[in-house]
Every structure is written in structure tokens, then in C-alpha cells.
Structure 1
Amino acid sequence: MAVSVNSRKIKKGLLILAVMHKSRFLNFSRGYLHSAVKSNEYSYSRIESNRVLKVLSKAGRIDDARNLFDKMLDRDDFSWNTMVAGYANSGRFTEAEKLFYETPVKSSITWTGLISGYCKYGFENEAFELFWEMKLQGQSPSQYTLGSVLGLCSTKGLLQKGEQIHGYAIKTWFDWNVFVVTSLVDMYGNCKCVFEAECLFEMVADCKYNAVWSAMLAGYSHYGYGYKAIECFRNMRTEGVESNQFTFPSILRACGAVMTCNFGSQVHGCIVRTGFGANIFVRSALVDMYAKCGDLNSAKSVLENMEFDDEVSWNSMILGCVRQGFEEEALSFFQKMLSRNMKIDEYTLPSVLNSFASMKDMQNAISVHCLIIKTGFEAYKLVNNALIDMYAKQGKLDCAIMAFSKMVDKDVVSWTSLVTGYSHNGSYEEAIKLFCKMIVSGVYPDQIAVASVLSACAELTVLRFGQQIHATLVKSGLGSSLSVDNSLVTMYAKCGNIVDANRAFDSMPTRDVISWTALIVGYAQNGRGKHSLQFYDQMIATGTKPDYITFIGLLFACSHDGLLGSGRAYFEAMDRVYGIKPGPEHYACMIDLYGRSGKLAEAKGLLNQMVEAPDAVVWKALLAACRVHKELELGEVAAKNLFELEPMNSMPYVMLSNMYSAAGKWEDAARIRRLMRSRGIWKEPGYSWIETNSRVDTFMSEDRRNPLRAEIYSKIDEIIMLIKEAGYVPDMSFALHDTDVEVKELENSSCNTGFHSSNQKWEFSKVSANRDHLNPPQIQIVQLPLRANQHWSQK
């Protein structure tokens, strides 16, 4: 056959296409070919046409490939297979399927071409239907067919189907094929079956095929087996297996997870030596590793030396800054991203919102929220969850609720963010209600949600509900965590059930200082201060160091048990032994301890030793001590400081007025009460509540809301008569001097003692128990301290 100039043109065009088909010069090479093949003078060969088809298909020029395919008079299996695979890889399945069924002779390659396309685009049902149909038609899947479907199983976490393919591979002896084994290792690794992946890996570990090593490394690093990943990488180097752009990101991720910056730096050196330092995925992994390890300078150095701006690397840098507490640095990088017109995504914004939450920067947070709305990221679940968390942490629960209510598809993170927000902001009842709604909605709580709602139960002292959550936790097999275990111990201790608190503590597999402190504080709050000190000694014996809160519990225990010597010793040991500077809470406990011991001079001396100005907690402790020991002059100093620190708090006004009354200074007492009224300050009534028959009932002084009030008040009147007959005389020293004795008795004995919320609570429990034939409940709560009269009347 005579070859014209056009033949040479086509061959030259093929060479150009082969080199440039993925570059910006593709239009030139395609035009060069097009000018040659449109001529009718040249009858080009089948081999040359197939080459052009292959290059055009790989370059994504599927329409040009189809034009050439239609002009071909002599098509073979290669021509049909190339076009089917080309359409499938381009996502044009209508044309791919039509051409597939028109193919005269379907080989394994034909079937694999369409199956691979389905797998590439995640069409799980179509891929597996065609795979099983292929077998029914008598075609044997190849290693590439199995690799494609296993890749789909890996991406989508289809463990059961992956196991079926594994079974087929064993039957057909493909389980020894390195390519198939690599796909199986990858599939099992991504499906969290690391043991199965290890067993398969051991079968081919002697080979030098780096893909299977990379797959095993990826499985280890992806699911938190950081040290195993490092060991695997070392073995890989020992065996002489070369690392590549797929190996390095996995090992760097593992280094970041276990925060081994030294080994990560060694891997960085290996990357530079092997020439992969310019790879964008490797560089991004380096930034992420250094940021997670806290080496922000190295992370910044890698980021600044990158040839092209990569959003993933910048996101890692921002997240690393937030995790290390450098929120301002994180915002600076975010502003640089915006100034460089870089693309921000759903992973950038949550880190930025977290930094605002830590900084309490509400103004800029609202600006970013506006940006989120403007750019359409409000539809992303990840961003919405970060918004809820950010507003909740800043105390803006109304904004958090609004963001939550706008979400169509709420996940466990959405619910947990708001439950935790309610709990941290003191809205404990709302936290429990929302937790119940989450369960009803079919969203199963995670460990963070459980820990938060247990904290809410502890603050409200609703033991029954806390026990139900504990039972659900055990029954569901959710698995425990240190935070959940600590919350359980705290909940039981605060609810007065110190026995179950001990049981929860004893069942903990691991304990930290929070675990020990929870029981130390629990014993102290339940009037067992000496047990707190014994428990502290046990903690020290285990090598656990106390923290700031531990000493609050210890000093509180010493204060309420009158252990002055022990209290002094612990207070002095804080800074001298453990390097913990005493805070206002510690000084308040010590002043209370001195006050209860009648040593107000020492209390005043300790107050003068404070480096920082005493806060309201300290002055309240001193004022309470002065009231007990009738130290009016020092009490006036404490009260006046409280007037400045907490001008709207009724406590110092009432206590100072009572002190004046007890000292017979009626004019001063009346003056304080007038001052209180002129400032619009009213004494908040004390509440008591009790848990009976799976419900919580609340009471306040002279409460008339309870349906059993007639029986309750009848019982109280009966008790008042009995205690008067027994010789009880109410303390009227706090009543104003210009009232009759009978009125004073009524004020102090009947209203403030007999009908005190705590007395109502006790009588309600007895009446309720008699009605329901139950024993009186064991758990009861009083929000405010009782006065002397109320204590006496309950004995």
C-alpha cells in the first residue's frame, strides 16, 4: 500500500497525542490529527485507529473518539472495548450500556470496562448486578475486575459484599494474586477489619510490591494504629521496598496521630532524599503531621515553601493552630486564605468557628456566619454543627437553637453539641429534655452526649434518671470512656449515693485525677470528710498528682469536719509540694475553716496575704463566719465589699441586716433593708425539691401549688404544736424590734420554719409514701442553707 503524506501526519499526531494528551497542548495535537484523518485519500490502518481511540479515550475526548470509531470500517474487539470503557470512565453510562450490548463478542475486558466505570462513580447496585451477570454468562472475572469491585467495597465500606468477592477469589485461586490481595488488604483496612487485613498481608509480605505495603500502612493509620503503622514502615524500609506518594501520606498521618514528631521528621528527610518533596499530597500530609505534633514552625515552613497554594494544607495549618491554642494565628491564616482568593470549604470553616468559640470573639463569629450564609455553606452538616457548638460555647443558646432548628438532617454531633451547650450553660433541665428527644428521634447518643447529660443529672441531683442512663449505657454495649466513667462517679456522689459512686469508681479500667477528685469531693459533700482525706492518701499512693479542684475538695472536707490542722497542711502543700497556686476557692475554704474554728483573726490575716484582690466567694465566706461569731465590724467590711462586687445579690444585705438585728442595732438593720428595697433587690426564695415515684417535685416557702398542700400544712401545724410542747422557743433575734412577740413568732416559727420549703418537702414525701404504700424516698435536695430554726424543727 502506498503511504501518503497523511500517513506520516497521523503517525506524528499519534506521537504528539501520546505525550501531550493530558496537557494544555491537546487541542493542537487533536487538530493536527483531525486535519489528517478527514481526508478520504488515506485509508488508515486498524492498528493506528485503535491507538488513536485509546489516546483520545484516556484524554477524555470521548466524542472525538466516537467520530473516529464510526468511521472505522474494520473494528475489532479492542475497538469496542476501548469505546465501552471510554464512555464508562467518562460517566456516560447510557452510551456505554448501549455500546456494550451492541458489542459483537463480549470478552472479560468488555465486562470489566463497564463494571470499572460503575465502580468509579459509586454505582454499587449496577456494578454488582453486572458482575454476577458476567459470571452467569460464563465469563471469568479477571484480576482487574476483582480489583474494581473490591475498590468499590473499600470506598463504601461494603464489608459483606467484599467478603463474598474474597470467597470467589479463593475459589478461583486469585487469593495469591498480588494485585487482588492488595485490593483485599485495602478493603478490609477501610472496613475496620485490621486483623483480616494483616492475615492477607502476611501471605505476600515477602514481595517487593509497594502497593500492598501502602495498603496495609493506610489501614493502620486510618483507624488509629499509629505505632503498628510505624513498625510496618520500618519493616518496609528493611525489606528494601521503595516508598512512593501513596506510602508517605499514610505514615505521616500515623506520626501525627501518635504525635511522634521526631520520627515524622525522619520520614520528612526520607521524602526529600527520594524526591517526593514536591508532591502536593505529600506536602499536605507533612503540614498536617507537624501541626498535629504541635511543631507549628515546621508546619508553617513547609506551607510557605509550597509551589502552589493547597486548601487542604492550609486547613491543616488552621486546625493545628486551634488545637494548640493559637486562635489568633488560626484567624491570621484564614484571612490570608481569603486575601489570596483561595477556595474555602466545609473543612476550613469549622476550625475557624472553633477559634472564635475559644476567644469569645462574638463580633467576628457573626461576620463569618454571614460569610457562611452568603457562600451557601449553611447547607453543610459539618459547618452547621460547628455553628451550634460555637454559639453554645459563647453562651448564645438562642442562636445555637436557631442553627439547630434549621438543620434538616441532624446527626448525633448536632444533638450532642446542643445538649452539651445546655449543660455547660446551666440549663440542665433543657439538656435532659433534649437528650430524651434525641433518643425518641432515633439518634443514638455518643459518649460525649452521655457524659454531658450525666453532668446535668448531677447538678439537678435527679438520681433516678441518672440510673436509667447508666442502665441504658450498660445494656446497649455502647462502651465506656474515661469521661463517661468520671461523670457517673460525679453523678452518684452529688446525688448522695456514695455507695454506687464507689462501685462506679471501682469498676473503672483506668482512672485519672478527675476520677479520684470526684470521690474526694463526693465524700466531703456528703459529710464524710475523713473518708475524703483517706481517699486522697490512696490517690497519692498510686502516683496520681492532685490538681486545683482536688484541693478544693480536701479543704472543703476539712472545713466541714473542723480539721484545722489538716486543712493548714494541705493549703501549705499546694504551692510548696505541687506548685499549685491557691485560688479564691481555696482561700474561701480556709477562711470558712478558720471561721468555724472561731479563729477570725487568722482568717483576716489569711485574707491580707492574698496576692490578688479577694473575690465575692472569699468575702461571702468571711461574712458567714462573722455572722456566726457576731463579729460585726469585720462583717461590715465584708458586706460592703460584696455590695460593690455583686450589687444585685441579696445575700450580703440580708446577712448584714440580720447581724445588726442580733446586735440590737435596729436602725442600722432597717437602713440596710431600705437600701435593699431602693435598689430593687429582693431576697430570692429558697427552693427544695425531692424525687418520688420517678418524678421531681419542687417546693418554696409558703408554697400553695401542690395538690397535697392541705395534708402537708396540717402535718406541719401538728409538728409545730408538738415541738412547742417539748420546750422549743424560736430564735427571734433577727426579727425587727417594733413588732409584737406573737408576730415575731409567726414570722420566725410558722412562715420561716414550719412552712419552709424543706419542711414541706419532708412532709410531702411522707404523705406521698402513705398514699402509694411506698417507703419515703432516700434522696432529697435543699438549694439554700437552712436557718437555725429550720434545723431545729427537723431534728
Structure 2
Amino acid sequence: MSSQLKSITSKGSQIFAQNLTLTQLAKSGRIEEAVNVFNSMTSRNTVTYNSMISAFAKNGRIAEARRLFDTMPSKNLVSWNTMIAGYSHNDCVLEAQQLFDGMPKRDDFSWNLMITCYMKNGEVDKARVVFDELNDKSPVCYNAMISGYAKNRRFEDAIRLLNEMPGCNIVGWNSVLSGYIQNGEMGDGLKFFDQMPERDVVSWNLMIDGFVQIGDLDSAREFFEKIPSRNVVSWVTMLNGYAKSGEIVEARRLFDQMPERNVVSWNAMISGYVQSLQIDEASKLFKEMPDRNSISWTTMINGYVRTGELKEARELLNKMPFKNVAAQTAMINGYVQSMRMDEALEIFEETRARDIVCWNTMISGYAQCGRMDKAMELFRRMPKKDGVSWNTMIAGYAQNHQIDRAIEIFHQMRDRNLVSWNSIVSGLAQNGYHIGALQHFLMMRKEGKKPDWSTYACVLSACANLAALQVGEQLHLLLLRSGYVTDVFAGNALITMYSRCGKIIRGRKIFNEMENIDLVTWNSLIAGYALNGYGEEALSLFRELETNGISPDEITFIGVLSACSHGGMINEGLKLFKSMSKDYLILPVAEHYACMVDLLGRAGRLEQAYDLVKRMPIKANAGIWGAILGACRIYRNPDLANLAAEKLFEFEPYKMSNYVQLSNIHADAGRWDEVERVRVLMKERGIKKIPGCSWIETRNELCAFVSDDSGKSRTAEVCTVLKTLSAQMRSIGLSSGCVLDCEGIMNSITTSC
């Protein structure tokens, strides 16, 4: 052999080897390594370019795939088809159509790709236009159309085309059957199966899979037993059904009976053990496997993560011969759940072919930890964002009380879905921006988005906090029209809304009409009775709850103890408080002690209340000291008020109302030096009096009045009316408290009148 021929042969072998490496790297998602191999190649052929185009496209880097396609020295038919397949994979239908129209030559695969691309995106009629342009239609194109019709629930069209197709084609029949199965139409699927002129093992396997998907394992097993000749897919489908349904013993029995096992069957069995948290059995089987693929490793790593064995998961990841993004994301998720973000970041930075799930897992982790600066840093670095990415950022900022940033992200988002709207509405409501929550609900409806029960629950909560009864009633009507009124969460929100708006009878009516109720429902009505001063009714409902065999929880006792406090039922409250730990095995928390302190304080038993606080096994919080301070004002105990206030200032050093209340207590006692001391303390701590704000709902509109805003229409007229009312109240001898309340309202509207 001549030296020149040897050189050409050697060069060809080198390109072949590099192309093979390139293809393997692309298949395993190691796109950056594939790019490095491609760039290092001194000689490339058409196969090289086609492999790299496919690698870019399958990893979502469609723009880079197109750039490479455009710079190819020479293109063959495979190159054009590869690029169209890439556009189809990335749902770029218009680009695929333009490329298809510009093709110098097409084969059956080209036409099939374009039909499949349209069908995948639900553009069935456009796919039919392409199909009709074909003069010589092959069975492949017929099957592409039939499969697309079936997947898009156009079964009549699929069957009509199947009957028009020359010759009987089992692939076409199976495509229609698959369409029925994938769309959950098992009844029609069974009828179609019975009408099939011939069946193969694929037909039988489709039926087994369909029954498995709807959880009918008995019917699946019946079909499995009837298969004339089973293949490994038959066994694996049945095995998967048992494993996913938690019938792990039956799954293992089937696994042991298999005449032959492939890696998929081993993975299915391991996955079943992982799902049932039998990690030792999964590990034992993993070690026995003759061959493992990336799914085997990923399943085991995920199993260790689910059982909290992060050390074992990390050790397995380190041993993994070819790490993939799924395994690395599972490990990242484990660290995220344990709030070990530095270790999660370490794995994230090592991950070369990050997909969108990997990015979102890290962003979600930082958001959960309150590290929104890190979350935003990653969000900005993301090459491609999806709805989950945007929604995670909105929810993260809202949960970390940065509602302005949440709104900013929300309004930057182009394609908002229901989760996006619910995230911003709930974020606004949870952060106290109740009017903002209602405004965004209105914006949502104007954009034509349909609210769900979660949306209604959030806006009803906002109405409850605003006591906006008319708006709440309108939401109730919308709930009735939408069909969500039967939802337990929406029902609970309605009870709370009506209760807080003072319509407790309406709240009870909702309770009585609800088809399904849970403990939250009982708690909502008990709390409503407490809030409206119906102590006896709250206790009666508590007893009704027990009669129905429902165990109360901590929230139940907060409601019923609060009812006793508001209703002045001291003995009943003391008995219930004692029975909590004795009869119900519920240890009191700070909120329960706050109710008891309030109960005793309202009854004038301040020393007993303070003694309870000193004997508590837990540390007192702001609610407890606030209850003591409130009682001190009612029963004029400035010394105890000083002590309670000092403790309260440790929790809420900048809450203006605490200082005002302490100042008023000392003013009532004539201790003006103490009043001055409180004022100096406020000045030293930079606490300024926040303008008072009141609102009233009139003509379906919430009108807010702020003490330093004299720009409201008819402000002077409102002030005049209030002054007149105040004078009349004095003249008929109403209590000074009522007169002061009236004057306080007047001052809230404007201080400049």
C-alpha cells in the first residue's frame, strides 16, 4: 500500500473515531465536551457537522445549530433533515416550514418530519396540507398523519385515513389505538382493539399500558395473561404497573419470573423499591445488575436523596462513570432540601450540560433560604427561562417580603400563567397589600385568565382583612358561577370572609352547605364566632366537632380560648386550657398563653396573668406581652405596664403603637414625667408617628382616608359631620371613650381641618 493511501486511510479512521466520540458525547448530554472535540478536529466531514447540529438542537441550542448548518461547506439531504428535526424538537414550527420550503430535494423522511412537526404543535390542518401535496404517499407518511390525528383526538379523521390507506398496515392500527390510550379513552380503546383485523405484541402491550395508567391492574394482568407471545416490553409494562402502585411484592414476583431481563426491567424494579423507600433492597439489586445505564445510577442517587442519605448519594455520584444532568440535579435537590446550598452550588458548577430543571432547582433552593440575591444572579445567567423560573422568582421575593421586586418580576414576564397570577395575588395578600391583591385579581380577569380555587381563596382572604363585604359577596357569586364553590379551600375562605365582615350567620350557612369539610373548616367557623363575640356558639361548635369524631389541633384551641376571652367565660377558658395537654396531648404554645393572658387580663386578674407568664415553660413573645400591656390600660396599672412594655420593645422596638399605648397609660394615671420619657425614647429611636388610615366600602369601591391627606373630596364636609356627632354625643352623656373614638376618626381623616 502506498504511503499516500495509508495516509488517507489513517485520516479517514481518525475522523470516523472522532465522529463516533462526538455522537456518544451528544447522546449523553455532554454538549461542551462535544463542542471541544468538534473544535479540535483538523478535518471534518458531513457526518461531523450533522452530529454537531443534532447535538446542539437536542440540547435546546437551536440558534447555534442553525449557525453551524449555514456555515457547512457542503450539505446533504441528511443535513437538511437533521436541521428540520432540530426545529421540530424545539417547537420552532415556522423555522422548520421555511427550511422545508427551501429544500433542494426531499425524501419520505423530510415529508414525515414536517407532518410530525405540525402535529406535535397541534396544527393538524397544516399537517394535512403538507400530506395532500404528496403525489406518491408512502406508508410512513400515512402513519405519521394517522398518529397525529389520534394524538390530537381527531379519531374519526384517523380511522377514515386508515381505511383509505392502501393495504392493511398494523402500524396505523396501533397508532390509533395508542391515541385512545394516551388520551385516557380506555373504553373506546377496548372497542377499537376488538375491531382490529390483526394484532401484534405491540397492540397487546398498548392495552396493558393503558390499564396500568388508569390503575386497573386486574384488567392489565388479564390482558398480560392472554398475550399469545410476550416480549420483554410486556413484562416490563406489567412490572412497572405493580411497582408504581406500591405492590412491590407482586412486582418482585413478576421480576423473578421473567425469562429474560434487560436493563429497563432492572431499572423498573429498582425504581419500585425506591418509591416504596426500601433503599436497602434497591441497593442490593443495583449491585447485582449485570449492566447499568445512566438511569440506573440516577434512580439510586435519587433514592438515597429521598431517604435523606446524602453522604451515600454523593459517594454514588462520584463513582458514576458518566455523570448526567439528571443525576447531578437529583444530588443538587437533596442538598437544597437540607438547606446545604454551598454543596448544592458545588455540584451545580460541576454540571456541564445544565438543563432548565437543574437551573430551576438551584434558584428555588436559594429562594427557600431567603438568599434572593443569589437566586437573581442565577436567574440572570440562565440561557433559557421557562414559566417555572419566573414564577419561582415571584414567589421567592413575595415569601421574603420583597413585594416590590415580586411585582417588578411579574410585570416583566411575557407569558403569565395561572401560577404566575396566583403567586403575585397570594404574595400581595400575605404581605398585607390587600387592595393590591384585589387590583391584580381584576387585572387577571381583564386579561381573560380564569381564576382557580387558590386565586379565590387569596382574594377572599384580602376581603376578610379589609372587611370589604360587598366585594366579598361579588366574589362569592363568581365562585358560584365558576363551580369552585364546592371546593373546601374556597369554602373555608368564604367562612372567614363573612366572619370578619361581621356576617357570622352567613358564615354558618356556608359551613352547613359545604359538601366536604375538614378541620380547617371547623377552625374557621370557631374563630369567626370568637371574633364576633359568640362565645357560647364557639364552645357549642367545639363540642360538635368532638361529637363528629374529629380531633382538635392547636389552631382549634386558639379559636376556642379566644372565644372564651372575648366572651368573658373565665372558668370555661381555664378548663379548656388545662384539658389541652391532659386530654388532647397538645402542648400549649405562645399563642395559647397569649389567649389566657388576655382572658385573665380582661377579667382584671392582672397579677394572675403575670404569674402565668412567669411560670410558662416557653419564652413569652410579643403577643403575650402585648396582651399584658392592653390589660394594663383597661385596669390602669402603670407599673406592670412599664415592665410589659420593656419586654415588648425587645421584640418590636420600632412599632409605634406600643409606645403610644404606654404613653396613654401613664397619661391616664397623671404620670406626665413618664409620658415625657416615652416621647424622648421614641425620638431617640427615630420612631415617627405613622399617619392614621381608615377606609370605608361604598358603591363597590374602597375609599381610604389618611390623616395627612387633605386632598380627598368632601374632606371638610366629613369633618364637620364628625364634629357635630361628637358634640351631640357629649350632650346626651355618652361615654368619653365613644367621644374619643369619634374624634380619633376625625383626626384620621385629616389633621388640617
Query: 1:292-320 CA deviation, whole Å, 9 max, x = no partner?
Result: 97676797788677543222343355457
The residue identity in structure 2 corresponding to 1:180 is G
Q: CA deviation at 1:690?
A: 1.9
186-195 vs 429-438, which deviates more?
A: 186-195
Q: 1:690 aligns with which of 684, 690, 696?
A: 696
- Does residue 373 of the first structure (1) align with residue 380 of the second (2)? yes
Q: What is the DSSP-based 3-state SS (H/G/I as helix, E as strand, rest coil) of the residue aligned with 1:388?
A: helix
Residue in 2 that maps onto 1:327: 339
Q: What is the DSSP-based 3-state SS (H/G/I as helix, E as strand, rest coil) of the residue aligned with 1:688?
A: strand
Residue in 2 that maps onto 1:179: 171
The 8 Å contact of residues 333 and 344 in structure 2, kept in 1 or not, is answered as no
Q: CA deviation at 1:430?
A: 1.8
The 8 Å contact of residues 525 and 557 in structure 1, kept in 2 or not, is answered as yes
Alpha-carbon separation, structure 2, partners of 1:179 and 1:631: 89
Alpha-carbon separation, structure 2, partners of 1:25 and 1:728: 91
431-440 vs 265-274, which deviates more?
A: 265-274
485-494 vs 232-241, which deviates more?
A: 232-241
For structure 1, list consecutive stretches of 5 or more residues without a partner in the other structure: 1-15, 27-55, 62-82, 101-109, 732-747, 762-795
Query: 1:372-398 CA deviation, whole Å, 9 max, x = no partner?
Result: 433523x44332222222222222233
Residue in 2 that maps onto 1:344: 354
The 8 Å contact of residues 559 and 593 in structure 1, kept in 2 or not, is answered as yes
Q: What is the DSSP-based 3-state SS (H/G/I as helix, E as strand, rest coil) of the residue aligned with 1:756?
A: helix
- Does residue 756 of the first structure (1) align with residue 712 of the second (2)? no
The 8 Å contact of residues 687 and 701 in structure 1, kept in 2 or not, is answered as yes
Larger of the two Rg values belongs to structure? 1
Q: 1:387 aligns with which of 385, 389, 393?
A: 393
Alpha-carbon separation, structure 1, partners of 2:636 and 2:319: 72
Query: 1:199-223 CA deviation, whole Å, 9 max, x = no partner?
Result: 54576799672465357637964xx
272-281 vs 330-339, which deviates more?
A: 272-281
The residue identity in structure 1 corresponding to 2:677 is R
Residue in 1 that maps onto 2:159: 166
1:16-55 matched pairs, under 5 angstroms: none
1:141-540 matched pairs, under 5 angstroms: 142=139, 144-153=140-149, 158-159=152-153, 161-169=154-162, 179-191=171-183, 193=185, 195-197=187-189, 199-200=191-192, 209-210=201-202, 212-214=204-206, 217=209, 221=213, 225=214, 227-228=215-216, 234-235=221-222, 238-239=225-226, 273-276=261-264, 277=266, 278=291, 280=293, 282-283=295-296, 286=299, 290=303, 307-316=321-330, 318-319=332-333, 325-328=337-340, 332-333=343-344, 335-339=346-350, 341-360=351-370, 362=371, 365-377=372-384, 379-477=385-483, 481-540=487-546
Q: CA deviation at 1:704?
A: 5.0
The 8 Å contact of residues 170 and 198 in structure 2, kept in 1 or not, is answered as no
Aligned residues: 643
Q: CA deviation at 1:556?
A: 0.9
Alpha-carbon separation, structure 2, partners of 1:720 and 1:583: 43
Query: 1:456-490 CA deviation, whole Å, 9 max, x = no partner?
Result: 22222222223333333332456864433332332
Q: CA deviation at 1:673?
A: 3.6
The 8 Å contact of residues 252 and 285 in structure 1, kept in 2 or not, is answered as no
Alpha-carbon separation, structure 2, partners of 1:558 and 1:513: 20
Alpha-carbon separation, structure 1, partners of 2:673 and 2:707: 27
Alpha-carbon separation, structure 2, partners of 1:590 and 1:670: 32
The 8 Å contact of residues 218 and 250 in structure 1, kept in 2 or not, is answered as no
Distance 1:425 1:291, change over 3 A: farther
Alpha-carbon separation, structure 1, partners of 2:545 and 2:233: 49
Residue in 2 that maps onto 1:616: 622
Query: 1:425-466 CA deviation, whole Å, 9 max, x = no partner?
Result: 222222222222222223333443333223222222222223
Q: What is the DSSP-based 3-state SS (H/G/I as helix, E as strand, rest coil) of the residue aligned with 1:552?
A: helix
Q: CA deviation at 1:687?
A: 3.4
Q: CA deviation at 1:592?
A: 0.6
Q: What is the DSSP-based 3-state SS (H/G/I as helix, E as strand, rest coil) of the residue aligned with 1:755?
A: helix
721-730 vs 419-428, which deviates more?
A: 721-730
The 8 Å contact of residues 397 and 422 in structure 1, kept in 2 or not, is answered as yes
Q: CA deviation at 1:519?
A: 1.4
Distance 1:559 1:251, change over 3 A: farther
Q: What is the DSSP-based 3-state SS (H/G/I as helix, E as strand, rest coil) of the residue aligned with 1:636?
A: helix
Alpha-carbon separation, structure 2, partners of 1:715 and 1:25: 84
1:485-634 matched pairs, under 5 angstroms: 485-634=491-640
Q: What is the DSSP-based 3-state SS (H/G/I as helix, E as strand, rest coil) of the residue aligned with 2:736?
A: coil
Q: CA deviation at 1:693?
A: 0.8
The 8 Å contact of residues 623 and 638 in structure 1, kept in 2 or not, is answered as yes
Alpha-carbon separation, structure 2, partners of 1:285 and 1:213: 26
Alpha-carbon separation, structure 1, partners of 2:457 and 2:197: 43
Alpha-carbon separation, structure 2, partners of 1:151 and 1:722: 83
Alpha-carbon separation, structure 2, partners of 1:479 and 1:169: 45
The 8 Å contact of residues 311 and 343 in structure 1, kept in 2 or not, is answered as yes
- Does residue 649 of the first structure (1) align with residue 655 of the second (2)? yes
Alpha-carbon separation, structure 1, partners of 2:516 and 2:161: 44
Residue in 1 that maps onto 2:56: none
Alpha-carbon separation, structure 2, partners of 1:685 and 1:146: 74
Distance 1:372 1:694, change over 3 A: closer
Distance 1:89 1:439, change over 3 A: same
Alpha-carbon separation, structure 2, partners of 1:291 and 1:532: 48
The 8 Å contact of residues 498 and 507 in structure 2, kept in 1 or not, is answered as yes
Query: 1:25-78 CA deviation, whole Å, 9 max, x = no partner?
Result: 99xxxxxxxxxxxxxxxxxxxxxxxxxxxxx99x989xxxxxxxxxxxxxxxxx
Q: What is the DSSP-based 3-state SS (H/G/I as helix, E as strand, rest coil) of the residue aligned with 1:727?
A: coil
TM-score by length of 1: 0.69
The 8 Å contact of residues 174 and 203 in structure 2, kept in 1 or not, is answered as yes
- Does residue 119 of the first structure (1) align with residue 115 of the second (2)? yes
The residue identity in structure 1 corresponding to 2:359 is L
The residue identity in structure 2 corresponding to 1:147 is N
Identity of aligned residues (%): 25
Alpha-carbon separation, structure 2, partners of 1:410 and 1:426: 23
Alpha-carbon separation, structure 1, partners of 2:598 and 2:79: 82
Distance 1:577 1:438, change over 3 A: same
Query: 1:676-700 CA deviation, whole Å, 9 max, x = no partner?
Result: 4454434545433221111112345
529-538 vs 311-320, which deviates more?
A: 311-320
The 8 Å contact of residues 524 and 554 in structure 1, kept in 2 or not, is answered as yes
Query: 1:576-618 CA deviation, whole Å, 9 max, x = no partner?
Result: 3444332221111111111122322331222122223211110
- Does residue 129 of the first structure (1) align with residue 123 of the second (2)? no
Q: What is the DSSP-based 3-state SS (H/G/I as helix, E as strand, rest coil) of the residue aligned with 2:662?
A: helix
Distance 1:267 1:537, change over 3 A: farther
TM-score by length of 2: 0.72
1:734-749 matched pairs, under 5 angstroms: 749=739
Distance 1:338 1:203, change over 3 A: farther
Distance 1:702 1:420, change over 3 A: closer
Distance 1:88 1:303, change over 3 A: same
Distance 1:667 1:295, change over 3 A: closer
Q: What is the DSSP-based 3-state SS (H/G/I as helix, E as strand, rest coil) of the residue aligned with 1:546?
A: coil
RMSD (CA atoms)? 4.6
Distance 1:338 1:265, change over 3 A: farther
